[in-house]
Copies of this chain bind each other. A is one copy, B any other.
């Protein structure tokens, strides 16, 4: 049985709160159970140097955890003078995933930075960040259109992400910390609303996994992302 008592295919309670802070073009608090991540989308004119003059925009992401988002305090990265390997790995994943949601040509020479800051961690922070970050991104794209800075909608499709894993031999979805820290395999899957796969990252933690376990996890991921897309559409007032 899962520590939380959930069924294998049950995600935690998912909430998305738009307009959580007031300055950003998009600002979403996303909660996957006790995991809470504040995702803001900031629009800036211009693109990084290596993209200049190519007539396209850029989406990038940064990730951070407040020092006491976790059970025990971890050192502040700003004070230690560099971002850790895990942070860098995660923010690269978020950036790649969200770029898949957008037609960068239609975005034009704007850069949108998605900041994902974990207020409270209980497993699945990167998948929550992608799911919430996508909603903040949509708000930022709409702000650009409302302000007549761009004329067409660059959004190609919604993107969401869920963690799946093998826990006590059983495929499960949306692992919390208690489960995640003891799972045999942990896999993050990023999908598009039309059922395409953007990213798969599966890691054997205790022992290797098999093709059939990989398939069982992928089934779980597809079902989990369906639920996440429904939450995103509802919060955004989109017809599914």
Contacts and interface: CB of A to CB of B under 8 A. Distances in A.
A129 to B, nearest CB: 13
Nearest to A26: B68
Interface residues of A, number: 63
A214 interface: yes
Contact of A21 (B64, B83, B119, B211): B119
Given A78-B83, A79-B62, A119 B202 contact: no
Copies of this chain per assembly: 6
B83 A79 contact: yes
The dominant DSSP class at the A interface is mixed
Interface in A43-66: 44, 62, 64, 66
Interface in A175-198: 187, 191-192, 194-198
B81 A66 contact: no
Interface of A: 21-24, 27, 34, 36, 38, 40, 42, 44, 62, 64, 66-73, 76-79, 81-83, 85, 87-89, 91-92, 96, 100, 113, 115, 117, 119-121, 187, 191-192, 194-204, 207-211, 214, 218
14 contacts: A40-B66, A42-B67, A42-B73, A44-B73, A66-B117, A88-B89, A96-B203, A192-B208, A197-B202, A197-B209, A198-B208, A200-B200, A200-B214, A211-B218
